[in-house]
Structure 1
């Protein structure tokens, strides 16, 4: 599939990966810092290790988060996520995964986000080819969410 055939529906959802010290309260301190700037965490995945924790977060205002992290010297990386809204978590999840499997595209990692304003479940996925996965899921009838859909 050619990338010029893909219709752009919005800004991709940006995920921040932040390295936190593995100590009590580190994650809470980061969330408090974000909330002090009226930024809400709407998705979270934490991978713990002995010395450090990698927190993957999706926020309501990625631009303000980027500026805040730079201003405070908080090391981070960003990546684009495909986010799918589902009416039914069980059947919807399997159909989504099957669509990507049939298209032979890989999911690097995935996690659930807090429900969208309409109450639907949302699945955030980092995939090997963002544009290809968006096209496949769109053609398969899935409702894709973009950053403007998540900013509250």
Structure 2
């Protein structure tokens, strides 16, 4: 018997499937035709889908930011492909009903003095409702603020494929 066997210690990390932040991957690509396709094709046949996408173009390269339905396996695929990636946490928030839902989200974050540095819509619609991914200076405080204001936070588990869910 090795040390630690049957010790009753759970070896789960905070970054498990229930961690409320969404993990964004930023990939740096040469600014030439077909590079995005090559990245997207890496997920073909894996059962992982791209749930959100943002592209920032520069003269020499492009920064592709995306969320996938399984962040752990997605990171493995990207790392095995040899791509330079950066992983960051984003807040996923469901947009409430009403005429200006994004205004309500921005106002809540402003009242907490939180600056939004990136934002883009999710391609998938968790819970059948529109949602956005937002990068802020303090992810945990932003999530706490939004929850206290009555917003629904989107977690990594909400991005998983579920054949019974519509959207």
- 1:24 corresponds to which residue? 33
- Superposed CA offset, 1:81-131 (max 9, x none): 101111437421111100110111111111111142432111110100011
RMSD of equivalent CA atoms: 1.5
Superposition deviation, residue 38 in structure 1: 2.1
Aligned with 1:65: secondary structure? helix
The aligned runs of 1:2-151 (5 Å cut-off) are: 10-88=19-97, 90-151=99-160
Distance 1:88 1:114 in 2: 18
Q: Distance in 1 between matches of 2:110 and 2:156?
A: 25
The structure whose residues are more often helix, as a share, is 1
Unmatched 5+ stretches in structure 1? 1-8
Instruction: State how far apart, in whole Å, the 2-side matches of 1:89 and 1:107 are.
Output: 21
Structure with more strand by fraction: 1
**Structure 1 residues 71, 11: CA separation in 2 closer, same or farther (over 3 Å shift)?**
same
Mapped to 2, the partners of 1:69 and 1:126 lie a distance apart of 21
Give TM-score scaled by structure 2 length.
Answer: 0.81
> Structure 2: which 5+ runs fail to align?
1-17, 162-167
Aligned equivalents of 2:119, 2:91: Cα separation in 1: 9
- The answer to whether the 8 Å contact 1:89/1:121 transfers is no
CA gap of 1:150–1:24, structure 2 versus 1, over 3 A, is same
Residues of 1 paired with 2:83 and 2:54: CA distance?
A: 18
